[in-house]
Amino acid sequence: MTDQAHAHSDPDASPLGKVVATYRDTYAPELLYPISRTPKREEIGLTTDNTRGHLPFMGADLWTAYELSWLTLRGKPEVALATFTVPCESPNIIESKSLKLYLNSFNMTRFASIDAVREVLVRDLSAATGVRVGVKLVLPEAFDAQPIHELSGLCLDRMDIDCDVFQPAPELLTAALDELPVTETLTSNLLKSNCLVTGQPDWGSVQITYSGPQIDQAGLLRYLVSFRGHNEFHEQCVERIYMDILTRCQPVKLQVYARYTRRGGLDINPWRTSHPAAAPVNVRTARQ
């Protein structure tokens, strides 16, 4: 994108954790706060060249916005659900509180049509992230058709295990490297991390699909639980999980998909895959 917004490297300078004296209710794209993906990717050994050709994964961040409203040209309010698909090769993420504040700025802004709203969202979010962002709007007549579904797969939470490590510990991950490979999907509802800036808890469910040496399930569950005291954004946690499993367990194929509970009317659901695949259908879980 040639009109990419200036990316910030300091999340502490974002609106997170700060009192907002006056909420803007008329269109204000300058409220969006892009944060570069590079520093956190460098922490886990990824190249600073954030393009698909140089990353060990593909995928996207799937956002759902539950609080979107605007005015028609006659001043009548409209509401919609919105989903945003941000490709993982984007140079930037958007800090979530800034996105909430930006969406609030639509509240008293008049638009000629829902298509006009969508076009503005695509333009602004694409400029902030540095790649084209997919935007879908769902109007109230389709609300009743929105499903709720849990992540499919074998749930690791069935195991009664001891947990005493609460910072990411990749050494907990092991796989049967000398045995025949398997293909399986494993899930957990016990993923919890904390916001990088405020330290507030972020609750999530995670689905791991892989082909390769069989991963020790008890070790994998302990590893996922080890994020419980870790401060990092959702997207960064999922990429850390992906890279740790890739490095320690050596799967031939790997997908990691997490669905985090909403905050401020937004949920963020990062998905990373080692191979071309259709993105997961953006269906919320019961906790979202």
Give the catalytic positions in this structure. Answer: 195, 202
Q: Does 141 belong to an annotated binding site?
A: no
Q: Report the half-sphere exposure of 191 (CA within 13 A, side-chain side).
A: 27
Is the CB of residue 236 less than 8 Å from the CB of residue 258? no
Q: Does 234 belong to an annotated binding site?
A: yes
**Could you give the CA distance from residue 229 to residue 201 in angstroms, rounded to a whole number?**
9
Q: Does 44 belong to an annotated binding site?
A: no
Q: Does 96 belong to an annotated binding site?
A: yes
Interior/surface letters 243-260, b for 16+ CB within 10 angstroms, e for the rest: bbbbebbebeebbbbbbb
Q: Is 112 exposed, middle or buried (0-12, 13-18, 19+ CB in 10 A)?
A: exposed
**Could you give the CA distance from residue 71 to residue 276 in angstroms, rounded to a whole number?**
40
Q: Does 59 belong to an annotated binding site?
A: no
Contacts 24+ apart (CB under 8 A), 75-81: 75/110, 78/114, 78/139, 79/140, 80/114, 80/117, 80/137, 80/138, 80/139, 80/140, 81/137, 81/138, 81/143, 81/146
**Could you give the CA distance from residue 36 to residue 250 in angstroms, rounded to a whole number?**
28
Helix (H) or strand (E) holding 40: helix 38-43
Q: Does 95 belong to an annotated binding site?
A: yes
Q: Does 94 belong to an annotated binding site?
A: yes
Q: Does 97 belong to an annotated binding site?
A: yes
From the annotation, which residues make up the binding site? 94-97, 234-235, 263-264
From the annotation, which residues make up the binding site for NADPH? 96-97, 263-264
From the annotation, which residues make up the binding site for substrate? 94-96, 234-235
